[in-house]
Structure 1
Amino acid sequence: MYARVAAATTTALLGAGALALPSATAHAADQPSAAQTSVQTSASHDRPLVVAHRGASAYAPENTFAAIDKAADMGFRWVENDVQRTKDGELVIMHDDTLKRTTNVEQLFPDRAPWKVADFTAAEIARLDAGSWFSPKYAGQRVPTLKQYMNRVSHNHQKLVFEFKKPELYPGIEKQGLAVLRKTGWLDRHHVKSKLVIQSFSADSVKTVHKLRPDIKTGFLGTPAVADLPEYAKFSDQINSPHGSITREYVAAIHALKGPHRKHLEIFTWTVNDAAAAQRVAGFGVDGIITNTPDVVREAISD
Structure 2
Amino acid sequence: MHARVVAATAAAVLGAAALLSPGTDARAGEVGVPTVIAHRGASAYAPENTLASIDKAARLGFCWVENDVQRTKDGELVVIHDDSLQRTTNVEQVFPGRAPWKVKDFTAAEIARLDAGSWYSPAYAGTRVPTLKQYMRRIEHNHEKLLLEIKNPELYPGIEQQTLKLLGNEGWLDHKHLHRLIVQSFSTDSIRTVHDLKPAITTALLGSPAVSQLPRYARFTDLINPSYGSLSKGYVAAVHTFDGPHGKPLGVFAWTVNDAATARKVAGYDVDGIITNKPDVVRSALGSD
Tell me the TM-score normalized by structure 1: 0.85
Q: Deviations over 1:65-117 (max 9, x none)?
A: 10000000000000000000000000000000000000000000000000000
Counterpart contact for 2:41–2:67, Cα < 8 Å: yes
Change (3 A) 1:68 1:44: farther
SS at match of 2:286: helix
User: One-letter code of the match for 1:156?
Assistant: N
Aligned length: 261
Answering whether residue 157 of structure 2 is matched by residue 171 of structure 1, we say yes
Q: Deviations over 1:107-144 (max 9, x none)?
A: 00000000000000000000000000000000011000
* 2:77 counterpart residue number: 91
Whole-angstrom distance in 2 between the partners of 1:142 and 1:205: 27
Give 1:107's aligned residue.
93
Provide the C-alpha distance between the structure 1 equivalents of 2:133 and 2:197, rounded to a whole number of angstroms: 20
The question of 1:49 aligning with 2:46 is answered no
State the Cα deviation string for residues 232-284 of structure 1 (Å, max 9, x = none).
11110000000000100000001111000000100000000001110011001
Structure 1 contact 210–218 (Cα < 8 Å) conserved: yes
What root-mean-square deviation, in Å, do the aligned CA atoms of Structure 1 and Structure 2 show? 1.2
Quote the sequence identity (%): 67
User: Counterpart of 1:70?
Assistant: 56
User: Hey, what does 2:259 align to over in structure 1?
Assistant: 274
Counting only pairs closer than 5 Å after superposition, residues 1-303 of structure 1 correspond to structure 2 as 44-46=28-30, 47-192=33-178, 194-302=179-287
Structure 1 segments of 4+ aligned residues over 3 angstroms from their partners: none
Contact preservation (8 Å) 1:243, 1:269: yes
Contact 2:221 2:244 in 1 (8 A): yes
8 Å CA contact 1:44, 1:77 repeated in 2: no
Q: Which amino acid aligns with 1:262?
A: G
Return the structure number with greater relative CO, CA threshold 8 A, min gap 6.
Answer: 2
Q: 1:182 to 1:90 in 2, by over 3 A?
A: same
Deviation at 1:302, TM superposition (A): 1.1
Deviation at 1:191, TM superposition (A): 1.4
Secondary structure class of the residue paired with 1:289? strand
User: What are the superposed Cα offsets for residues 30-51 of structure 1, whole Å, 9 maximum, x if unpaired?
Assistant: xxxxxxxxxxx9x952430000
Q: Which runs of 5+ in 2 are unaligned?
A: 1-24
| Cα distance in 1 for residues equivalent to 2:108 and 2:211 | 42
Q: Is residue 89–residue 116 contact of structure 2 (8 Å, CA) maintained in 1?
A: yes
AA paired with 2:36? V
CA contact (8 A) 2:28 2:34 kept: no
